[in-house]
Structure 1
Amino acid sequence: MRRLPSLPNPSAASTSTPDVVAELGRILSTRRWNKGRAYKRLAPSITAAHVADLFRASTGGGPLDHATALAFFEWVARRPGFRHTAASHAALLQLLLLRRARANYEKLVVSMIKCSDSPEDMRTSVDAIEALRRTGGARLALSPKCYNFALRSLSQYGMTENMGKVYSLLVQDGLLPDTVTYNTMIKAYCKEGCLTMAHRYFQLLRESGMEPDTFTCNSLVMGYCRAGDLRNACWLLLMMPLMGCRRNEYSYTILIQGLCEARRIWEAIVLLLMMKQDGCSPNLHTYTILIRGLCKEGKIRDARFLLDEMPRKGVVPSVWTYNAMVDGYCKSGEVKDALEIKQLMERNGCAPDDWTYNSLIHGLCDGKTDEAEELFNSAIVRGFKPTVVTFTNLINGYCKSERIDDALRVKNMMSLSKCKLDLQAYGMLVNSLIKKDRLNEAKETLKEISANGFVPNVVIYTSIIDGYCKSGKVDAALEIFKLMECEGCHPNAWTYNSLIYGLIQDQKHQKAMTLLTKMQEDGIPAGVITYTTLIQGQCSKHDFDNAFRLFDMMERNGLTPDEQAYNVLTDALCKSGRTEEAYSFLTRKGVALTKVTYTSLIDGFSKQGNTDIAATLIEKMVSHGCKPDSYTYSVLLHALCRQKKLQEALPILDQMNLQGVKCNIVAYTILIDEMIKEGKHDHAKKMFNEMISSGHKPSAHTYTVFINSYCKEGRLEDAEKLIVEMESEGVPPDVVTYNIFIDGCVHMGYIDRAFSTLKHMMDVSCEPDYCTYSILLKHFLKSSLVSVQYVDTSGLWNVIELDTVWKLLERMVNHGLNPTKVTYSSIIAGFCKATRLGEACELLDYMCGKGLSPKEEIYTMLIKCCCDTKLFKKALLFVSNMIECGFEPQLESYKYLIVGLCDEGDFDKAESLFSDLLGMDYNHDEVAWQVLNDGLLKAGYVDICSQLLSTMENKHYHINSETYAMVTKNIHEAAGSMEGTLTMSSEVQILATWNDCLETISRQRTVRVAFDQHYPKTCLSRCFATLKLMLFTTESAVPVDGEVYQGSSTVTIEHLTGETKPLERTVGDAIPGGARNLEGMMIVKVTKSWEDSTLNRIVQLTAEGQLNKPKL
């Protein structure tokens, strides 16, 4: 007997227990198996999976006969709690087919389909039907009714592919599909939006001599709607009567739903009216669809009208109808009306479901989170099962209200409910924690996200990075950034802008510029915010050339600088005493001045003593409709007080009142400070009281003004009381306040008190600075020179010895203070400023011996000190140590080193160091600008600067066109102004200076030259073979072939061709050897040396002609 193809094993079989199946097989092999004790004992544990395994085992040659199998199948089905599956049916069919048993196969197939509860079960059923068809042939053919039942069941799961198989089996059996068959097929394909197949079966229906009915047309209308073809859907609805198909409520409802989904709500309303005229009454589904559609369009009143109409038309709203209204009210912000709908549905006997409660909670969480939680708790009592959406809404509500602890409480509730947070909820929590400066908790939440199997997205990572950067913890932000990249999460513009901002605030401008390079490499274009932040960084270190370079780069990249960009540059220029330049810049750009811009200009002119111009600017500001604020007047007050014009400053307060501008804390503090300086303490106290009564809280600076006065007068008790008052008022003293008080203590000889203040200062996380330690060392210096009547401490770091430093450190330890990295950094900085490298290095070794690793700033200061003292090898050693410690040396350090090596004549080492620098992760624009432009060029090394710029080009290190243009322009200008031009005017002069010339050319690849017609060919051949770029000024001869690299000139080639007409030559144009530069300046890139030049070939040919000329 041939083996039948096996049917697929269902997943349920994996739950079968071999022992149960084996025992069941033994029991069924006995007579009266259903009467024995063994079966009764085993029966409760038998499942459909066991039955399927038993039948499959018998199919493979087991002892169970088909009659017993069929009897057992029917008997076990009657047992309470037992239910057959598609798999158990399929296994029985396979067994019966194998044994060629007589049975009602169609009944078994129908039963199998009824037991199919999933697409997988239906696939099992289809495979069983195919096996039955292959094995039984016409003898076991199924009826059309059975096939139609199978098709309808498959259509419930959208299994159109399997439906096609069943349809093919029906046709192969010689059966004729009926209207039910075709309608089932058409509806299934229409549900999927596959109109091509639906039309094919429609055509088959017509070809079979049958006519479409209302069901057919309704299916096609639905198909057109699903495919978005509302025009044909409407046309078919209108044509139905002409096709002999009566329209019913389903016909209209299907099209109404399509129109609503397409947001054509008013056409749907028109269809509703047409429906009533057609004698069709809207049903529950019709009303619900329309109400939902109106609510989505914000037509809440119209939706409510339909809801109220439903009972009058005899239609009882369902929970879905009410939910549509609740959702509509909540999304419109009318939560009160939504709650009324909930009460209405409860009065009408319709219990709210989970959707109702979730919608209401979501609505209440927008400002009424407490009420939302009350509803949540009452819903729980009524059997409401909250989901992740419910908890997320509550968390979002509390986060919006800045009640992060309540949000975390809901998160814990969620965990107890065994409901996991999703990424959205985590993102809300992280964002709220960061807003509250709870960064450590945010970082722990990030770990929890990963632990729960989620991958944090760019928003979550960037929120944490942004929080760290705004809190001044940029190193922690960079760690998160690295983690982000390791996890495969790509940063966006917000990520980079946050990091660049943090680095600039931390004075790490170089790393910020490196990030700009990385940002561009990642394909993220830098925006106005990016450039503005970088410009602000350059302004903070007074590098205005670089700031303007970045500003021009921003414009060249097609970006329009905003108000903030102009204000940053303007304010920095004004604070640096370059107010006229700032004003000229704004005028040139045609920028409309704002309140902030006016204030910066007024501040700048005021500090320069031009208070009259400042006052004029205020008048201009008012005339242009830009009202000055308290900060605008504050800068004018500050300038007058600096000029000791207090009597002129005080009337400005009256002017402010007339303008309706309230005096701010800054203005009050300026006036109080000046009153105290002029000895008018009573007036100052009165002004202070006036400030308090006007509702202003004194700032740390306000208190410090009084503390400084008390310390100068020796009133330390009063100063200390004021510090205590500051802390009690929630105004923490800053480092300036503490330094003033410590200086007062030291001046009065209260050293222990000074160190106690230092300890308190460190205990409250106020880090002492360079000035703090300088004040204390000044005392120790004076005490060590007690026999000297006068001690000049202005040059403290030039005279102080290490013994004094050891005393300071020992005294700190005695007071329970452990010197920190900042302590050592401050003292090393002092020694480095005085170029006392030995003492600085000794202190560094001592620091390392204490287990403290030097900070990046320490290395930078030591490298600078080494360069200042010409100890370049030691500087290079510090650079290596710095890199080994994971620090990135400052470009400024490389600038000092490369310029210093050039000063020493070690050009090869300078070039080698520059090449090493290019291989590191620096912004190449910054390298070109800081090292070449600000370093070598300003030090006068024009030629080596040009050579290294060529090195960058040859190695394909990209430089922004704006930067390149500015650097090359500066090279041209510097070269044009250089003296000592190398002039080769005669053979004697060249031979006499050849050794120096050759040494220069071997080091420098760009030489400014001028020639006359007398020059030795051999010498020039050796000389120009080493050149890559040559700079030619007016009336210079060109001895090589090349092309214009930069600049433009008017040249003549009369010596070569006899043509006297001047030629214009610009970038890219060829220049033959022998040409003469008549006017202009250009850099020529050498393509052929003197030996191969056009002029030399002419000279050689002439010489050969003379030699070959016959003698007379």
Structure 2
Amino acid sequence: MRCNCFGILHKVIVVFIKDCSSTVPEALRLIDVLDDMRNYGFGISYPCYSTLLMCLSKLQMGLSAFSVYKRMVNDGFVLGLIDYMTLINALCKNGFVRGAETLVSKVVKIGYDADVHICTSLVLGYCRIGDLTEAFQLFDKMSKPDGCGVNEVTFTVLIHGLCEAGKLIEAFQLKEQMAINGCRPSTRTYTVLIKAICDIGLTDKALCLLDEMVKKGSEPNAHTFTILIDGLCREGKIEEANGIFRNMVKNGLTPSTVTFNVLINGYCKQGKVVSAFELLAMMEKRNSRPNIRTYNELMEGLCRIGKPYKAMILVRKIIDNGLWPERLTYNILVDGFCKEGQLEMGFRLLKLVDSLNLVSDKFPYTMLIDRLSKEGTLDQANGLLGLMMKKGINPDEVTFTALINGYCKNGKIENAVILLDTLVWSTDLNLTSPHIFNSLIDAFSKDMKFGLADAMIGKMLKCCVTPSVVTYTILIDGFCQAGKINRSLEVFELMKRCNCAPNVYTFTALVNGFCQSGRLEEATKLFETMSDSDVPPNVVTYTILIKAYVKSGDLEHGFEILNDMVKNKCQPNFETFSVLLEGLILSKSVSDGSFTVFNEMGSAHAVEFLQKAKKHGVGVSDIYSFLIVGLYKVGRMLEADELVQEMVKNGYFPDEFECSHILEHLCKQEKYDNCIAWMKLMFDHGFMPSFGSFCCVVHGFQKEGKIHELQDLMSDYLSKSGVEDRHGVSTYMDFLVSCDELDECFELLEVVEKLSTQERPVV
């Protein structure tokens, strides 16, 4: 400007606009900068305005685009057809179709034709406001001989509108109609349909549509693959999603940050954090910059596997990459620390959010109140509720439920009732579920105060809240525990009359009530009616009935029920087998979870149990797993090891869950060499230990100073995890498996607090 090189400066500004408007915040900042230039007396040229209009249209910023248009008119510029088309499209993208219609009238008055591009924008506008009737009427006018014609974009816009309205059959019919009008489905057309199919959970059909797309000559792009990867991840088909991702990369397509985030989220939800961090390493290698969502997904994944300290340390990487933790980041951390019972860190983070002037929401307060309530520190939980309300953050139904549930569980039912009456009734809180009332009804039932439980149901109805199946089941279970079986049957009949179908827990409570009252025949009859009610028994129902028969001395009948259980594809659990094994050994019910049965069990008992369970349809692998886990639990290591060898020799092996369970027990016994043997067996059978159990083994080797064995173990784990870029993920592995550093987390909190007081540089 000082050198009067305005021609060059205008060209620079055009490039500047194109490069600095990839996101809405960037575009808004850009508009402010251009306004500042105008205030200094520098006039923006027509090419600058026109380029800005296009950028705002791409970002679907219709109102901002209209403001730029008004400035252009005020500055005396005469807009060309392309500018009007851009502006009409921008308004229609945001659903401002009536304003767009006014501009179309102006375009026609000026002497331009409302061509296929302008009309297609209007069709888009009608679809955005859900007016498909108007959209199809315009489409029909365009399709007539004297109309402006339609193209594949017009069809795609309408197909997208139909998909948004849930009319998938009509959308596919419209796709078939394209050929009649001389149009061919584009990549965008297929991508819209693929997304619609994935959204309803039909990824198999979406993959078939992808095959059709390729055969018809429409090449899928990165967005198409991202939608498929997202759909597969949501269905838990993470390996299939990873396969598509790898093929996408091999075919030369560049995954976007969104693509990486989708797959990282999929891995984190399944607890496969190593694979998630491999993707982070791949992003860094490809210069695909991770955003705050990338790190939020990783932090949530770490919290999911019980490693909130690791998630906290990841904040350092966020800051080092020029990003800034957002409110969601801190919410994830508070939730993770609360679930692990680390309330001190939770409170420090809550305080940090306040000091950063981030607008707190109810989520972190509710998480802390819930944890405090569960731990019985109810005065502190109540104080936090008061602080929350003082700050103007309205607690919701979940917050009140957490505190009331805490009072009920800790025997302070009066406080719970007072809280319900004074807070819930005095606020504008609209109760939508019976959870709060269920907590109180459950507490009254356990105290056998059924009159008060009935009164609470009256309050529930007064609030227009309908009792749920849980409400009725609580009452039925309460009456059963009090020995009032007839009253429980009355409630059972009442819930059916109220069209509230009993579920498996309702039946299980009644079966348990009959068994406890010694009415085994009636329990069996009720059990048999479950199938007629389309409510198959679960493992708890079966185990209760087996336990009752074993206790009555009829062990053979217990094994017969086990046989039915296996036939009905209901997997027996540890307690089921324990009941039968103890019946076999001691002819009495299993002791309360102490597993003394494995101290009493001899080799002859184990062989007999194996034979009987196998005879009644139980898989040999399941029986071996049960016996091995039980022996490891009581420290009979040599016998457990012998049984493992026998199991493998006979061609059987436990499942992944049981293997991880065994590893954790071996770590507690500090039998790390046994752990290595187990892991090798797991790898040979195609299983992976849980990340938690793997870390237990790593920490054991670190404690014993076995560095070389540790390196071999890490290498095997990465190989079996399917990690391709071991070098890229190796630094992250050291970070993931190292012991939690509490001091480092506190230091990091202090760093963030100091940074928050400094003004952040703006480029």
CA distance in 2, matches of 1:732, 1:518: 45
Decide whether aligned partners of structure 1 residues 303 and 553 sit closer, same or farther in structure 2, where only a CA change above 3 A counts.
closer
Structure 1 match to 2:192: 393
Partners of 1:575 and 1:722 lie apart in 2 by 35
Q: 2:459 aligns with which of 652, 655, 660?
A: 655
Structure 2 distance, partners of 1:313, 1:552, is 64
| Counterpart pick for 1:599 among 401, 419, 423 | 401
Task: Work out whether residues 407 and 429 of structure 1, in 8 Å CA contact, stay in contact via their aligned partners in 2.
Answer: yes
Shift in Å at residue 632 of structure 1?
1.1
Matched residue SS, 1:921: helix
Alignment partner, residue 87 of structure 2: 293
In the alignment, structure 1 residue 549 sits paired with structure 2 residue 348: no
Instruction: Please give the alpha-carbon distance, in whole angstroms, between the structure 2 residues aligned to 1:791 and 1:706.
Output: 21
Tell me the secondary structure at the aligned position of residue 432 of structure 1. Answer: helix
Q: Distance in 1 between matches of 2:710 and 2:747?
A: 21
For 2:734, give the aligned amino acid. D
Q: Is the 8 A contact 1:676 1:684 kept in 2?
A: yes
In 2, the alpha carbon distance for the partners of 1:309 and 1:959 equals 62
Residue 772 of structure 1 corresponds to 576
Structure 2 match to 1:1024: none
The 5-angstrom pairing of residues 554-953 of structure 1 reads 555-556=351-352, 562-584=361-383, 586=385, 593-621=395-423, 622-626=425-429, 630-712=434-516, 719=523, 722=526, 726=530, 731=535, 733-749=537-553, 751=555, 754-755=558-559, 757-758=561-562, 761=565, 767-782=571-586, 795-820=596-621, 824=624, 826-850=626-650, 852=653, 855-865=659-669, 875-878=671-674, 921=734, 927-928=740-741
Give 1:392 deviation, angstroms: 1.8
Is residue 187–residue 219 contact of structure 2 (8 Å, CA) maintained in 1?
Answer: yes
Pairwise CA distance, 1:651:
1.9
Distance 1:344 1:358 in 2: 17
| 1:921 maps to amino acid | D
TM-superposed CA distance for 1:380, in Å, is: 0.9
How many residues of Structure 1 are paired with residues of Structure 2 in the alignment?
652
Is 2:146 aligned against 1:348? yes
Shift of 1:670: 0.9
Quick one: structure 1 residues 327 and 556, their matched pair in 2 at CA, closer, same or farther if it must change by over 3 Å? closer
Instruction: Describe the shift of the 1:679–1:530 C-alpha distance in structure 2 as closer, same or farther (beyond 3 A).
Output: same
Contact conserved, 2:49 with 2:68, CA < 8 A, in 1? no
The 8 Å contact of residues 514 and 522 in structure 2, kept in 1 or not, is answered as: yes
Aligned pairs (5 A) from 1:85-234: 224-228=45-49
Partner of 2:27: none
**What is the distance in 1 between the residues matched to 2:543 and 2:601?**
20
> Which deviates further from its counterpart, 653-662 or 731-740?
731-740
Cα separation, 2, equivalents of 1:594 and 1:320: 48
1:865 deviates by 3.5
Per-residue deviation, residues 402-457 of structure 1 (Å, max 9, x unmatched): 66566455434323312222221222233334445565654554455456543544
Find the aligned partners of 2:135 and 2:382 in 1 and give their Cα distance.
Answer: 59
Note if 1:960 corresponds to 2:762.
no
Structure 1, 660-669 or 296-305: larger mean CA deviation: 296-305
The Cα of 1:658 is off from its aligned counterpart by 2.0
| Residue 223 (structure 2) aligns with | 424
What does residue 137 of structure 1 align with?
Answer: none
In structure 1, give the amino acid aligned to 2:496.
I
Q: Which moved more, 1:667-676 or 1:809-818?
A: 809-818
One-letter amino acid matched to 1:463: V
The aligned counterpart of 2:40 is none
More displaced, 333-342 or 724-733?
Answer: 724-733
SS of the residue aligned with 1:623?
Answer: coil
Distance 1:922 1:315, change over 3 A: closer
Q: Output the CA distance in 2 between the equivalents of 1:553 and 1:292.
A: 46
Question: Does structure 2 retain, via aligned residues, the 8 Å contact 1:310–1:316?
Answer: yes
Closer/same/farther in 2, CA of residues 812 and 534 from structure 1, 3 Å limit? farther
Ranges in structure 2 where 5+ consecutive residues have no aligned partner: 1-6, 15-43, 52-63, 712-730, 752-763
1:705 shift after superposition: 0.4
d(CA) in 1 for partners of 2:133, 2:241: 35
User: Amino acid of the residue matched to residue 675 of structure 1?
Assistant: F
Equivalent-residue separation in structure 1 for 2:13 and 2:484 (angstroms): 94
SS at match of 1:605: helix
Q: Which residue of 2 aligns with 1:1035?
A: none
Give the aligned residue type for 1:801: G
- Structure 1 distance, partners of 2:749, 2:65, is 56
Measure, in 1, the Cα distance between the counterparts of 2:570 and 2:679. 30
Q: Is the CA contact (8 Å cut-off) linking 2:292 and 2:325 kept in structure 1? A: yes
* Identity across the alignment (%): 24
SS in 2 for 1:379: helix
Flag the 1:880–1:742 CA change in 2: closer, same or farther, 3 A: same
1:357 to 147, 155, 158: 155
Assess, with a 3 A threshold, how the Cα gap between structure 1 residues 302 and 713 changes in structure 2: closer, same or farther: closer
Q: Is the 8 A contact 2:666 2:675 kept in 1?
A: no
Query: Which structure is higher in RCO with an 8 Å CA cutoff and minimum separation 6?
Result: 2
Instruction: Give, in angstroms, the shift of residue 389 of structure 1.
Output: 1.6
Q: Deviations over 1:74-93 (max 9, x none)?
A: xxxxxxxxxxxxxxxxxxxx
Q: Which residue of 2 aligns with 1:94?
A: none
8 Å CA contact 1:825–1:858 kept in 2: the answer is no
Q: Which amino acid aligns with 2:344?
A: F
Give the C-alpha shift of residue 702 in structure 1. 1.4
Match of 2:179 in 1: 380
The residue type equivalent to 1:418 in the other structure is G
Greater percentage in helix: 2
Contact persistence 2:267–2:275 (CA under 8 A): no
- Alignment match, 2:306: 509
After superposition, what is the alpha-carbon deviation per residue over 1:1052-1085, rounded to whole angstroms, capped at 9, x for unaligned?
xxxxxxxxxxxxxxxxxxxxxxxxxxxxxxxxxx
1:454 match: 253
Partner of 2:170: 371
How far apart are 1:721 and its partner, in Å? 6.0
Residues 300 and 852 of structure 1, relative CA distance in 2, 3 Å threshold: closer
DSSP-derived class of the 2:551 partner: helix
Larger-gyration structure (1/2) = 1
Cα deviation for residue 775 of structure 1 reads 1.0
Q: CA deviation at 1:638?
A: 1.1
Corresponding residue for residue 39 of structure 2? none
Structure 1, gaps ≥5 residues long: 1-188, 197-222, 231-259, 276-284, 867-874, 899-908, 930-956, 966-1112
Q: Which amino acid aligns with 2:747?
A: S
Aligned mates of 2:254, 2:194 — CA distance in 1: 20
Partner in structure 2 of residue 59 of structure 1: none
The one-letter code of the counterpart of 2:615 is N
CA distance in 2, matches of 1:876, 1:398: 49
For residues 720-770 of structure 1, the C-alpha deviation after alignment (integer angstroms, 9 at most, x for no partner) is 665565566665544322321332343345545544554665677654433
TM-score, structure 2 normalization: 0.70
Alpha-carbon distance, 1:846 to partner:
3.9
Deviation at 1:362, TM superposition (A): 3.6
Give the Cα separation in 2 of the matches to 1:793 and 1:320: 75
Q: Deviations over 1:357-396 (max 9, x none)?
A: 3343344433144333333322311211221122222333
Q: Report which stretch shifted further, 633-642 or 529-538.
A: 529-538
| Structure 1 pair 459–751 and aligned structure 2 pair: CA distance change class (3 A) | farther
- 2:728 aligns with none
CA distance in 2: counterparts of 1:307 and 1:339, whole angstroms: 18
Which whole-Å CA distance do the structure 2 matches of 1:827 and 1:715 have between them? 32
Partners of 1:331 and 1:363 within 8 A in 2: yes
Q: Match of 1:374, SS?
A: helix
